[in-house]
Structure 1
Amino acid sequence: MVNLGHIKIFIAFFFLLQNQNSFKFDSNENYIATYSKGFLVAPEKFDNIIIEYTLKFNESLSKFEISDKKNLKLKESVVLNGSGIYFNESNDAVLNHLSGNSIFSDKYLIQRNHESLRWNITSETKILNGFTCYKAFRYPLGLDFKENKNEPVLTAWFAPKLNFKHGPADAVGLPGLVLEYTHKNYFYRLETLETTSIDNNDDFVNGLKPKGDFKKIAYLDYMKKVMKWYRGMKKKYRK
Protein backbone atom coordinates (compact mmCIF):
# COMPACT_ATOMS: atom_id res chain seq x y z
CA MET A 1 0.00 0.00 0.00
CA VAL A 2 1.31 3.45 -0.90
CA ASN A 3 1.91 5.69 2.09
CA LEU A 4 0.26 8.99 1.12
CA GLY A 5 1.75 10.70 4.17
CA HIS A 6 5.27 9.91 2.99
CA ILE A 7 4.41 11.11 -0.53
CA LYS A 8 3.13 14.42 0.90
CA ILE A 9 6.32 14.90 2.92
CA PHE A 10 8.49 14.03 -0.10
CA ILE A 11 6.66 16.45 -2.39
CA ALA A 12 6.82 19.27 0.17
CA PHE A 13 10.55 18.93 0.68
CA PHE A 14 11.33 18.22 -2.99
CA PHE A 15 9.86 21.65 -3.66
CA LEU A 16 11.88 23.22 -0.84
CA LEU A 17 15.06 21.48 -1.98
CA GLN A 18 14.65 22.87 -5.47
CA ASN A 19 14.03 26.36 -4.13
CA GLN A 20 16.18 26.64 -1.02
CA ASN A 21 18.72 28.91 -2.69
CA SER A 22 15.99 31.31 -3.77
CA PHE A 23 13.90 30.97 -0.61
CA LYS A 24 13.27 34.40 0.87
CA PHE A 25 11.14 35.40 3.76
CA ASP A 26 7.89 37.09 2.78
CA SER A 27 6.38 39.10 5.61
CA ASN A 28 2.97 38.70 3.98
CA GLU A 29 3.07 34.93 4.25
CA ASN A 30 1.94 32.64 7.04
CA TYR A 31 3.50 29.22 7.56
CA ILE A 32 2.59 25.83 8.99
CA ALA A 33 5.18 23.21 9.89
CA THR A 34 4.69 19.74 11.32
CA TYR A 35 7.17 18.01 13.63
CA SER A 36 7.36 14.42 14.78
CA LYS A 37 8.40 13.70 18.34
CA GLY A 38 10.24 10.51 19.27
CA PHE A 39 11.85 9.21 22.44
CA LEU A 40 15.43 8.37 23.37
CA VAL A 41 14.71 6.43 26.58
CA ALA A 42 13.00 3.12 27.37
CA PRO A 43 12.81 1.91 23.75
CA GLU A 44 10.77 -1.11 24.80
CA LYS A 45 8.05 1.30 25.97
CA PHE A 46 8.30 4.24 23.56
CA ASP A 47 9.79 2.74 20.38
CA ASN A 48 6.50 2.74 18.45
CA ILE A 49 5.21 6.05 19.80
CA ILE A 50 5.51 9.03 17.47
CA ILE A 51 3.63 12.21 18.35
CA GLU A 52 2.88 14.91 15.79
CA TYR A 53 3.07 18.60 16.63
CA THR A 54 2.17 21.70 14.63
CA LEU A 55 4.09 24.98 14.46
CA LYS A 56 2.10 27.87 13.02
CA PHE A 57 4.04 31.08 12.51
CA ASN A 58 4.72 34.32 10.71
CA GLU A 59 7.70 36.67 10.91
CA SER A 60 7.26 37.59 14.56
CA LEU A 61 4.90 35.11 16.24
CA SER A 62 4.58 31.34 16.52
CA LYS A 63 2.45 28.75 18.27
CA PHE A 64 3.64 25.19 18.89
CA GLU A 65 1.25 22.50 20.14
CA ILE A 66 0.32 18.85 19.82
CA SER A 67 -1.67 18.11 16.65
CA ASP A 68 -3.77 15.16 17.74
CA LYS A 69 -6.25 16.81 20.11
CA LYS A 70 -8.48 13.72 20.11
CA ASN A 71 -5.84 11.62 21.86
CA LEU A 72 -4.29 14.53 23.76
CA LYS A 73 -4.61 13.02 27.25
CA LEU A 74 -3.38 9.60 26.11
CA LYS A 75 -0.41 11.03 24.23
CA GLU A 76 0.57 13.62 26.83
CA SER A 77 0.65 10.84 29.43
CA VAL A 78 3.76 9.49 27.70
CA VAL A 79 5.35 12.88 27.03
CA LEU A 80 8.21 13.12 29.51
CA ASN A 81 8.66 16.87 29.10
CA GLY A 82 7.61 19.71 26.86
CA SER A 83 3.86 19.49 27.38
CA GLY A 84 1.56 22.48 26.99
CA ILE A 85 1.55 25.16 24.29
CA TYR A 86 4.48 27.39 23.38
CA PHE A 87 4.03 30.94 22.06
CA ASN A 88 7.14 32.66 20.74
CA GLU A 89 7.45 36.43 20.21
CA SER A 90 10.63 36.92 18.20
CA ASN A 91 10.39 40.73 18.02
CA ASP A 92 10.25 41.00 21.82
CA ALA A 93 12.55 37.97 22.28
CA VAL A 94 10.11 36.34 24.70
CA LEU A 95 8.96 32.72 24.91
CA ASN A 96 5.59 32.12 26.59
CA HIS A 97 4.73 28.60 27.73
CA LEU A 98 1.14 27.80 28.66
CA SER A 99 1.93 24.88 30.90
CA GLY A 100 0.18 21.56 30.59
CA ASN A 101 1.21 20.74 34.17
CA SER A 102 -1.83 19.96 36.32
CA ILE A 103 -0.17 19.97 39.76
CA PHE A 104 -1.39 23.51 40.49
CA SER A 105 -4.96 24.75 40.62
CA ASP A 106 -3.96 27.95 38.78
CA LYS A 107 -3.07 27.98 35.10
CA TYR A 108 0.25 29.66 34.39
CA LEU A 109 1.74 31.41 31.39
CA ILE A 110 5.46 30.91 31.97
CA GLN A 111 7.60 33.67 30.47
CA ARG A 112 11.25 33.42 29.52
CA ASN A 113 13.40 35.77 27.46
CA HIS A 114 15.53 34.38 24.63
CA GLU A 115 18.76 35.55 26.21
CA SER A 116 18.22 33.27 29.22
CA LEU A 117 18.27 30.23 26.92
CA ARG A 118 22.02 30.78 26.45
CA TRP A 119 22.51 29.09 23.10
CA ASN A 120 26.06 28.30 21.99
CA ILE A 121 26.27 28.37 18.18
CA THR A 122 28.96 26.20 16.59
CA SER A 123 30.43 25.94 13.09
CA GLU A 124 29.33 22.28 12.78
CA THR A 125 26.86 21.72 9.95
CA LYS A 126 24.73 18.99 8.44
CA ILE A 127 22.05 18.80 5.76
CA LEU A 128 18.47 18.37 6.93
CA ASN A 129 15.58 18.30 4.46
CA GLY A 130 17.84 19.84 1.83
CA PHE A 131 18.92 22.77 4.02
CA THR A 132 22.33 23.46 5.50
CA CYS A 133 21.83 23.57 9.25
CA TYR A 134 24.14 24.75 12.01
CA LYS A 135 24.43 23.13 15.41
CA ALA A 136 23.62 25.06 18.58
CA PHE A 137 23.56 23.70 22.10
CA ARG A 138 22.79 24.76 25.64
CA TYR A 139 23.00 23.22 29.09
CA PRO A 140 19.93 22.25 31.13
CA LEU A 141 19.38 23.92 34.49
CA GLY A 142 20.16 21.94 37.64
CA LEU A 143 18.34 21.96 40.98
CA ASP A 144 20.22 25.13 41.87
CA PHE A 145 18.81 26.76 38.69
CA LYS A 146 22.30 27.08 37.24
CA GLU A 147 23.67 25.42 34.11
CA ASN A 148 24.38 21.76 34.78
CA LYS A 149 27.31 20.84 32.57
CA ASN A 150 27.27 17.25 33.81
CA GLU A 151 23.96 16.59 32.06
CA PRO A 152 23.58 15.89 28.31
CA VAL A 153 23.34 19.12 26.34
CA LEU A 154 20.19 20.21 24.52
CA THR A 155 20.99 20.36 20.80
CA ALA A 156 19.24 22.31 18.05
CA TRP A 157 19.96 22.34 14.32
CA PHE A 158 18.77 25.55 12.64
CA ALA A 159 18.66 26.64 9.00
CA PRO A 160 19.76 30.27 8.35
CA LYS A 161 18.10 30.10 4.90
CA LEU A 162 14.77 29.87 6.74
CA ASN A 163 15.04 33.22 8.46
CA PHE A 164 12.66 32.71 11.40
CA LYS A 165 13.56 32.63 15.09
CA HIS A 166 11.04 29.88 15.78
CA GLY A 167 11.18 26.16 16.47
CA PRO A 168 9.65 23.31 18.45
CA ALA A 169 8.94 23.79 22.17
CA ASP A 170 11.65 26.01 23.72
CA ALA A 171 14.06 25.73 20.77
CA VAL A 172 13.65 29.38 19.79
CA GLY A 173 15.70 32.55 19.46
CA LEU A 174 18.24 31.18 16.98
CA PRO A 175 19.01 32.89 13.63
CA GLY A 176 17.04 30.37 11.60
CA LEU A 177 14.15 27.93 11.88
CA VAL A 178 15.03 24.89 14.02
CA LEU A 179 14.58 21.69 11.99
CA GLU A 180 15.73 19.26 14.68
CA TYR A 181 15.86 19.56 18.46
CA THR A 182 17.22 16.89 20.80
CA HIS A 183 16.52 16.89 24.51
CA LYS A 184 18.05 14.35 26.85
CA ASN A 185 14.91 12.16 26.70
CA TYR A 186 13.31 12.96 23.35
CA PHE A 187 13.68 14.74 20.03
CA TYR A 188 11.63 16.79 17.58
CA ARG A 189 12.16 16.55 13.83
CA LEU A 190 10.66 18.69 11.07
CA GLU A 191 8.46 16.73 8.65
CA THR A 192 6.68 19.33 6.50
CA LEU A 193 6.85 23.07 5.93
CA GLU A 194 4.48 25.03 3.74
CA THR A 195 2.90 28.43 3.28
CA THR A 196 -0.78 28.68 4.02
CA SER A 197 -3.36 30.91 2.41
CA ILE A 198 -5.48 32.48 5.13
CA ASP A 199 -8.42 34.57 3.97
CA ASN A 200 -8.43 36.55 7.19
CA ASN A 201 -4.87 37.26 8.25
CA ASP A 202 -6.05 38.82 11.52
CA ASP A 203 -7.61 35.51 12.58
CA PHE A 204 -4.34 33.68 11.89
CA VAL A 205 -2.28 36.20 13.84
CA ASN A 206 -4.70 36.22 16.78
CA GLY A 207 -4.45 32.44 16.88
CA LEU A 208 -0.72 32.79 17.59
CA LYS A 209 -1.35 34.62 20.87
CA PRO A 210 -2.14 33.03 24.25
CA LYS A 211 -5.76 33.30 25.35
CA GLY A 212 -7.73 32.29 28.40
CA ASP A 213 -7.61 32.67 32.15
CA PHE A 214 -4.02 32.35 33.34
CA LYS A 215 -1.45 33.96 35.59
CA LYS A 216 1.81 35.25 34.15
CA ILE A 217 4.95 34.09 35.92
CA ALA A 218 8.69 34.23 35.22
CA TYR A 219 10.34 30.94 34.29
CA LEU A 220 12.62 30.70 37.35
CA ASP A 221 9.78 31.63 39.72
CA TYR A 222 7.66 28.86 38.23
CA MET A 223 10.45 26.31 38.54
CA LYS A 224 10.88 27.27 42.20
CA LYS A 225 7.16 26.62 42.75
CA VAL A 226 7.52 23.21 41.10
CA MET A 227 10.51 22.32 43.28
CA LYS A 228 8.67 23.43 46.42
CA TRP A 229 5.69 21.26 45.45
CA TYR A 230 7.98 18.32 44.70
CA ARG A 231 9.78 18.56 48.04
CA GLY A 232 6.43 18.81 49.83
CA MET A 233 5.12 15.67 48.13
CA LYS A 234 8.36 13.82 48.84
CA LYS A 235 8.16 14.76 52.51
CA LYS A 236 4.48 13.80 52.66
CA TYR A 237 5.02 10.29 51.33
CA ARG A 238 8.00 9.67 53.58
CA LYS A 239 5.72 9.79 56.61
Structure 2
Amino acid sequence: MSDPTRDGSPQYRNELLRFMPADDLALLAPHMQRCALPVRMMLVTPNIPIEAVYFIEQGIGSVVASTASGHDAEIGFIGFEGMTGSALVMGDDRAAHACFVQLEGEAIRIDAAPFNAALAASPTLRLFLLRFVNTLHTQTGCTALVNARLKLEERLARWLLMCDDRVPGESLAMTHEFLSIMLGVRRPGVTVALQLLEGRALIRSRRGEIVIRDRAGLLELANGGYGQAEAEYARLIGEIMPG
Protein backbone atom coordinates (compact mmCIF):
# COMPACT_ATOMS: atom_id res chain seq x y z
CA MET A 1 0.00 0.00 0.00
CA SER A 2 1.80 3.10 -1.19
CA ASP A 3 -0.27 5.78 0.58
CA PRO A 4 -1.18 5.05 4.22
CA THR A 5 -4.56 6.83 4.27
CA ARG A 6 -8.11 6.07 5.22
CA ASP A 7 -11.13 7.91 3.79
CA GLY A 8 -8.77 10.26 1.97
CA SER A 9 -6.98 11.57 5.08
CA PRO A 10 -3.70 10.40 6.64
CA GLN A 11 -4.05 8.08 9.61
CA TYR A 12 -0.55 8.04 11.06
CA ARG A 13 0.27 6.34 14.31
CA ASN A 14 3.90 7.40 14.16
CA GLU A 15 4.46 10.54 16.22
CA LEU A 16 7.07 12.06 13.91
CA LEU A 17 4.63 11.88 11.02
CA ARG A 18 1.88 13.34 13.19
CA PHE A 19 3.99 16.34 14.21
CA MET A 20 5.79 16.83 10.88
CA PRO A 21 5.07 20.09 9.00
CA ALA A 22 2.49 19.50 6.26
CA ASP A 23 4.74 20.58 3.39
CA ASP A 24 7.48 18.16 4.45
CA LEU A 25 5.00 15.35 4.95
CA ALA A 26 3.74 15.95 1.41
CA LEU A 27 7.28 15.36 0.08
CA LEU A 28 7.45 11.95 1.77
CA ALA A 29 3.87 10.73 1.30
CA PRO A 30 4.19 9.50 -2.33
CA HIS A 31 7.05 7.21 -1.30
CA MET A 32 5.47 5.64 1.79
CA GLN A 33 4.72 1.94 2.03
CA ARG A 34 3.26 0.10 4.98
CA CYS A 35 5.12 -3.05 5.93
CA ALA A 36 5.04 -5.70 8.63
CA LEU A 37 7.85 -5.85 11.18
CA PRO A 38 8.40 -9.48 12.21
CA VAL A 39 10.59 -10.21 15.23
CA ARG A 40 14.33 -10.07 14.46
CA MET A 41 13.83 -8.32 11.13
CA MET A 42 16.99 -6.29 10.43
CA LEU A 43 16.14 -2.63 9.91
CA VAL A 44 19.71 -1.32 9.78
CA THR A 45 22.77 -3.47 9.11
CA PRO A 46 26.04 -2.08 10.50
CA ASN A 47 28.48 -0.50 8.06
CA ILE A 48 26.30 -1.23 5.01
CA PRO A 49 24.47 1.53 3.10
CA ILE A 50 21.02 2.09 4.59
CA GLU A 51 18.37 0.90 2.13
CA ALA A 52 15.32 2.47 3.76
CA VAL A 53 14.04 4.30 6.79
CA TYR A 54 11.19 2.96 8.90
CA PHE A 55 8.75 5.20 10.75
CA ILE A 56 7.57 2.66 13.31
CA GLU A 57 3.83 2.65 13.98
CA GLN A 58 3.63 -0.42 16.20
CA GLY A 59 6.31 -2.57 17.79
CA ILE A 60 9.84 -1.79 18.98
CA GLY A 61 13.19 -1.60 17.25
CA SER A 62 16.42 -2.04 19.22
CA VAL A 63 19.71 -0.39 18.35
CA VAL A 64 22.37 -2.88 19.41
CA ALA A 65 26.13 -2.41 19.68
CA SER A 66 28.45 -5.38 19.28
CA THR A 67 32.10 -5.99 20.04
CA ALA A 68 34.46 -7.85 17.73
CA SER A 69 34.42 -10.72 20.23
CA GLY A 70 30.65 -11.11 19.96
CA HIS A 71 29.29 -9.27 23.01
CA ASP A 72 26.00 -7.42 22.39
CA ALA A 73 24.06 -4.79 24.31
CA GLU A 74 21.11 -2.57 23.50
CA ILE A 75 22.00 1.12 23.33
CA GLY A 76 18.86 2.55 21.71
CA PHE A 77 15.13 1.98 21.79
CA ILE A 78 12.70 3.10 19.05
CA GLY A 79 8.94 2.73 18.95
CA PHE A 80 6.05 4.68 17.47
CA GLU A 81 7.71 7.91 18.57
CA GLY A 82 10.58 7.60 16.13
CA MET A 83 12.31 6.31 13.03
CA THR A 84 15.26 4.15 12.04
CA GLY A 85 18.10 5.12 9.74
CA SER A 86 18.77 8.47 11.41
CA ALA A 87 22.33 8.43 10.03
CA LEU A 88 20.77 9.61 6.75
CA VAL A 89 19.43 12.68 8.53
CA MET A 90 22.98 13.47 9.67
CA GLY A 91 24.39 13.18 6.16
CA ASP A 92 25.85 9.66 6.30
CA ASP A 93 24.71 6.62 4.34
CA ARG A 94 25.40 3.96 6.99
CA ALA A 95 25.38 3.35 10.73
CA ALA A 96 27.88 1.73 13.08
CA HIS A 97 25.25 -0.23 15.01
CA ALA A 98 22.54 -2.70 14.08
CA CYS A 99 18.84 -2.03 14.50
CA PHE A 100 16.40 -4.92 14.48
CA VAL A 101 12.81 -5.60 15.50
CA GLN A 102 12.48 -6.51 19.15
CA LEU A 103 8.67 -6.61 19.34
CA GLU A 104 6.71 -7.29 16.16
CA GLY A 105 4.53 -4.62 14.62
CA GLU A 106 4.38 -2.51 11.49
CA ALA A 107 5.93 0.60 10.02
CA ILE A 108 5.85 3.05 7.16
CA ARG A 109 8.87 2.40 4.95
CA ILE A 110 10.55 4.94 2.66
CA ASP A 111 13.45 3.97 0.43
CA ALA A 112 16.68 5.81 1.08
CA ALA A 113 16.87 7.54 -2.33
CA PRO A 114 13.55 9.43 -2.17
CA PHE A 115 14.08 10.10 1.53
CA ASN A 116 17.46 11.72 0.80
CA ALA A 117 15.87 13.68 -2.06
CA ALA A 118 13.24 15.04 0.33
CA LEU A 119 15.96 16.03 2.82
CA ALA A 120 17.79 17.89 0.03
CA ALA A 121 14.62 19.63 -1.10
CA SER A 122 13.55 20.82 2.34
CA PRO A 123 15.90 22.14 5.02
CA THR A 124 12.97 22.24 7.46
CA LEU A 125 12.52 18.47 7.15
CA ARG A 126 16.10 17.81 8.15
CA LEU A 127 15.90 20.28 11.04
CA PHE A 128 12.71 18.66 12.33
CA LEU A 129 14.14 15.14 12.16
CA LEU A 130 17.38 16.28 13.81
CA ARG A 131 15.25 17.02 16.86
CA PHE A 132 14.45 13.32 17.03
CA VAL A 133 18.11 12.41 16.54
CA ASN A 134 18.89 14.64 19.51
CA THR A 135 16.35 12.84 21.70
CA LEU A 136 17.77 9.47 20.63
CA HIS A 137 21.26 10.63 21.61
CA THR A 138 19.88 11.75 24.97
CA GLN A 139 18.34 8.33 25.46
CA THR A 140 21.65 6.64 24.59
CA GLY A 141 23.46 8.83 27.11
CA CYS A 142 20.93 7.92 29.79
CA THR A 143 21.40 4.25 28.97
CA ALA A 144 25.17 4.57 29.41
CA LEU A 145 24.62 6.29 32.76
CA VAL A 146 22.19 3.76 34.19
CA ASN A 147 24.27 0.83 32.94
CA ALA A 148 27.28 2.23 34.79
CA ARG A 149 25.60 3.40 37.99
CA LEU A 150 22.32 1.61 38.68
CA LYS A 151 21.60 -1.88 39.93
CA LEU A 152 20.29 -4.46 37.48
CA GLU A 153 16.77 -4.41 38.92
CA GLU A 154 16.70 -0.61 38.58
CA ARG A 155 17.85 -0.84 34.97
CA LEU A 156 15.23 -3.51 34.30
CA ALA A 157 12.52 -1.27 35.78
CA ARG A 158 13.56 1.57 33.44
CA TRP A 159 13.60 -0.75 30.45
CA LEU A 160 10.11 -2.08 31.23
CA LEU A 161 8.80 1.49 31.58
CA MET A 162 10.18 2.32 28.14
CA CYS A 163 8.47 -0.77 26.73
CA ASP A 164 5.24 0.16 28.46
CA ASP A 165 5.37 3.61 26.80
CA ARG A 166 5.42 2.01 23.37
CA VAL A 167 3.29 -1.13 23.66
CA PRO A 168 -0.50 -1.08 24.15
CA GLY A 169 -1.78 -3.14 27.06
CA GLU A 170 0.21 -4.49 29.98
CA SER A 171 1.69 -7.66 28.48
CA LEU A 172 5.15 -7.85 26.87
CA ALA A 173 6.32 -10.88 24.90
CA MET A 174 9.88 -11.31 26.19
CA THR A 175 12.19 -14.22 26.95
CA HIS A 176 14.89 -14.15 29.62
CA GLU A 177 17.52 -14.78 26.95
CA PHE A 178 16.40 -11.77 24.95
CA LEU A 179 16.33 -9.59 28.05
CA SER A 180 19.90 -10.62 28.82
CA ILE A 181 21.01 -9.28 25.41
CA MET A 182 19.04 -6.07 25.80
CA LEU A 183 20.46 -5.37 29.26
CA GLY A 184 23.95 -6.65 28.52
CA VAL A 185 24.03 -9.17 31.39
CA ARG A 186 24.00 -12.92 31.79
CA ARG A 187 20.68 -14.74 31.73
CA PRO A 188 20.79 -15.86 35.43
CA GLY A 189 21.06 -12.19 36.43
CA VAL A 190 17.91 -11.38 34.48
CA THR A 191 16.06 -14.24 36.17
CA VAL A 192 17.02 -12.95 39.63
CA ALA A 193 16.02 -9.37 38.74
CA LEU A 194 12.63 -10.50 37.41
CA GLN A 195 12.03 -12.51 40.56
CA LEU A 196 12.81 -9.43 42.65
CA LEU A 197 10.32 -7.30 40.70
CA GLU A 198 7.72 -10.05 40.89
CA GLY A 199 8.28 -10.37 44.63
CA ARG A 200 7.43 -6.68 44.97
CA ALA A 201 4.24 -7.23 42.93
CA LEU A 202 5.49 -4.86 40.21
CA ILE A 203 5.24 -7.44 37.42
CA ARG A 204 4.07 -10.97 36.74
CA SER A 205 6.62 -13.06 34.86
CA ARG A 206 5.59 -16.09 32.84
CA ARG A 207 7.38 -18.07 30.18
CA GLY A 208 8.00 -15.68 27.30
CA GLU A 209 5.79 -12.97 28.81
CA ILE A 210 6.01 -10.15 31.34
CA VAL A 211 2.88 -8.44 32.64
CA ILE A 212 3.26 -5.00 34.23
CA ARG A 213 1.16 -4.71 37.40
CA ASP A 214 2.42 -1.51 39.05
CA ARG A 215 3.87 1.20 36.80
CA ALA A 216 4.22 3.68 39.65
CA GLY A 217 6.23 1.13 41.58
CA LEU A 218 8.50 0.55 38.58
CA LEU A 219 9.02 4.30 38.28
CA GLU A 220 10.10 4.48 41.90
CA LEU A 221 12.40 1.48 41.52
CA ALA A 222 14.02 2.99 38.41
CA ASN A 223 15.74 5.42 40.80
CA GLY A 224 15.78 8.43 38.49
CA GLY A 225 16.98 6.45 35.48
CA TYR A 226 13.74 7.02 33.58
CA GLY A 227 12.29 10.34 32.41
CA GLN A 228 15.07 12.57 31.07
CA ALA A 229 14.95 11.35 27.47
CA GLU A 230 11.15 11.31 27.58
CA ALA A 231 11.09 14.95 28.78
CA GLU A 232 13.47 15.92 25.96
CA TYR A 233 11.14 14.34 23.40
CA ALA A 234 8.21 16.33 24.79
CA ARG A 235 10.28 19.54 24.72
CA LEU A 236 11.67 19.12 21.21
CA ILE A 237 8.85 17.36 19.39
CA GLY A 238 5.66 17.07 21.44
CA GLU A 239 3.78 15.03 23.98
CA ILE A 240 3.54 11.39 22.98
CA MET A 241 -0.01 10.18 22.37
CA PRO A 242 -1.09 6.54 22.86
CA GLY A 243 -0.18 4.41 19.83
TM-score, with length taken from structure 2: 0.25
Structure whose residues are more often strand by fraction: 1
Structure whose residues are more often helix by fraction: 2
